[in-house]
């Protein structure tokens, strides 16, 4: 597919999609270890819908993925938007509540107290059959960006746009001829990647959604071992790196999907050998959703999903598709090829110029991560005098100090880009999606720098 200049494209009007594209006897989810059919699910959606308000919006912070699914569907049947916070912290949830009139919080944690109306999920309650006819123009979800480069920004998604994007996504997410399969994910449903690969793929595709969100390698291994039949693991580079490093045994999988940050080819190769399946990397953003893929061990270039076009402006790469209301400027810089593939250069905010030389924070972080003994790391700009650029890094390692990291960087990185200081920390403040909010990184840097945390 060749990128082409499509100009402004109005949203194409598709036939109003139904809540589910599934037969009543299909198994839509595994909840508490047992299969849930579509018929059972719809009865529980009807019960949950009775507990929701008549107007406003739902801030869905359910940790159990099945209860999230029931709540999301119940809100849709009532014509209520679901607001998806970038994290479940009280201050984040309350900020969204204050900015969205009439909103209430949907949670599966009994006794949680917030200065906002709270509705507790009850996936066992049933009610009248849910209305599955959802007008395509319904505001289905508002996804808030992760805040990795600044403030979190809301992204509005109509039901029509979500369904159409899911139809496109499914062609690249899952292997052809896989048949029935279960999706296990380490990514929260509130994240766009998690929403698309688990919730929407269960509603509009063939996937059976597992209700858990295993975190530690042993939890992931146990969850995968207990899934019968083909299984797809949806995860992030941070989690996948931990799986390989754990040395635990993992079952053969149908496919592994990775997103939220670039995946190293060596790590992808180790995963393919360990789990006997292809590792497919998804590229997307909250503004658009999933839009491109690559099999990391074979190609560093991504290919756009069917129906997407990319073109470069002087100040941004712009993505167009029929289900998008207008072309969307991307937060990342893409190097477009004539065959429609692209290289991910990095975020505009990641590009660094010092002394007439250029690099990106992504590349500096990648080089640090490639050092044996480094468990996690991030390179970033230190706020300072306007017009000056100073790089620093936070590094997690059980065996190295800042001097050792610096020595390992000297042969592979121009000296002007070697971070100073390099601070050793016990862990990075990653969100559940694996991303690093910029404000959390700077808070940790300031605290660690004040006590000289193994700095170089």
Q: What is the pLDDT of residue 384?
A: 67
**Paired strand residues for 58:** 82, 104
Q: What is the pLDDT of residue 40?
A: 93
For 355-451, which CATH superfamily applies?
ANL, C-terminal domain (3.30.300.30)
Q: What is the pLDDT of residue 8?
A: 32
Q: What is the pLDDT of residue 146?
A: 64
Q: Which residues contact 288 (CB under 8 A, 6 or more apart)?
A: 319, 321, 324, 328, 330
Please report, in tens digits, the pLDDT of each residue of the chain (456 residues total). Answer: 322 233 333 334 445 689 998 889 999 999 999 999 999 999 999 999 999 999 999 999 999 999 999 999 999 999 999 999 988 888 889 999 999 989 999 999 888 888 888 988 876 788 887 788 999 999 999 998 765 554 568 899 999 999 999 999 998 898 777 888 999 999 999 999 999 999 999 999 999 999 999 999 999 999 999 999 999 999 999 899 999 999 999 999 999 999 988 888 999 999 999 999 999 999 998 899 999 999 999 999 999 999 999 998 777 889 999 988 889 998 888 889 988 899 887 776 777 877 677 788 888 998 898 898 998 999 998 876 555 578 999 999 999 999 999 999 999 998 889 998 999 999 998 887 778 888 889 899 988 876 665 556
Fold annotation for 27-345: Rossmann fold (3.40.50)
Q: How many Cα atoms within 13 Å fall on the side-chain side of residue 266?
A: 7
Q: What is the pLDDT of residue 235?
A: 96
Sheet of strand 374-381: strand arrangement: 374-381, 391-397, 422-424
Residue 432 is given by DSSP the state T
Q: Record the pTM.
A: 0.83
Q: Where are the domains of the chain?
A: 27-345, 355-451
Distance, CA of 224 to chain centre: 20
Backbone angles phi, psi at 255, to 5 degrees: -175, 155
Burial of 151 (0-12, 13-18, 19+ CB in 10 A): exposed
């Amino acid at each position: 597919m060749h990128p082409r200049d499509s100009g402004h494209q109005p949203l194409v009007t598709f036939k109003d999609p139904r809540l589910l594209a599934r037969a009543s006897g299909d198994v839509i989810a595994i909840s508490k270890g047992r299969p849930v059919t579509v018929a059972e699910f719809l009865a529980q959606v009807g019960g949950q819908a009775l507990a929701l308000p008549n107007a406003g919006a739902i801030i869905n912070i359910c940790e159990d993925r099945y209860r999230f699914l029931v709540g999301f569907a119940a809100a849709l049947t009532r014509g209520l938007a679901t607001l998806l916070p970038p994290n479940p912290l009280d201050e984040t949830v309350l900020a969204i509540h204050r900015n969205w009139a009439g909103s209430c919080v949907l949670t599966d944690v009994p006794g949680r107290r917030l200065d906002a109306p709270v509705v507790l999920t009850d996936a066992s309650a049933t009610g009248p059959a849910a209305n599955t006819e959802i007008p395509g123009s319904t505001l289905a979800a508002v996804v808030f960006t992760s805040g990795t480069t600044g403030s979190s920004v809301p992204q509005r998604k109509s039901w029509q746009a979500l369904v159409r994007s899911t139809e496109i996504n499914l062609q690249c997410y899952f292997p052809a001829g896989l048949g029935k399969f279960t999706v296990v994910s380490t990514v929260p449903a509130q994240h766009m990647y998690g929403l698309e690969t688990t919730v929407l793929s269960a509603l509009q595709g063939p996937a059976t959604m597992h209700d858990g969100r295993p975190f530690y390698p042993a939890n992931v291994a146990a969850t995968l071992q207990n899934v019968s039949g083909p299984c797809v693991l949806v995860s992030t580079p941070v989690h996948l790196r931990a799986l390989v490093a754990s040395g635990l045994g993992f079952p053969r999988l149908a496919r592994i999907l990775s997103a939220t940050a670039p995946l190293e080819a060596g790590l992808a190769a180790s995963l393919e050998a360990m789990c006997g399946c292809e590792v497919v990397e998804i590229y997307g953003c909250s503004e658009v959703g999933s839009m491109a893929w690559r099999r990391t061990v074979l190609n560093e270039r991504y290919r756009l999903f069917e129906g997407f076009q990319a073109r470069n402006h002087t100040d941004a790469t712009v993505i167009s598709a029929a289900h998008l209301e207008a072309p969307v400027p991307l937060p990342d810089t893409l190097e477009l090829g004539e065959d429609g593939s692209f290289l991910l250069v990095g975020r505009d905010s990641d590009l660094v110029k010092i002394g007439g030389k250029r690099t990106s924070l992504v590349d500096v972080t990648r080089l640090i991560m490639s050092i044996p003994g480094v468990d996690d790391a991030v390179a970033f700009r230190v706020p300072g005098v306007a017009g000056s650029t100073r790089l620093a890094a936070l590094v997690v390692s059980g065996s190295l100090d800042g001097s050792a990291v610096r020595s390992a960087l000297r042969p592979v990185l121009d000296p002007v880009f070697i971070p100073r200081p390099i601070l050793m920390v016990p862990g990075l403040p990653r969100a559940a999606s694996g991303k690093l909010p910029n404000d959390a990184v700077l808070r940790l840097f300031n605290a660690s720098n004040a006590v000289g945390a193994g700095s170089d």
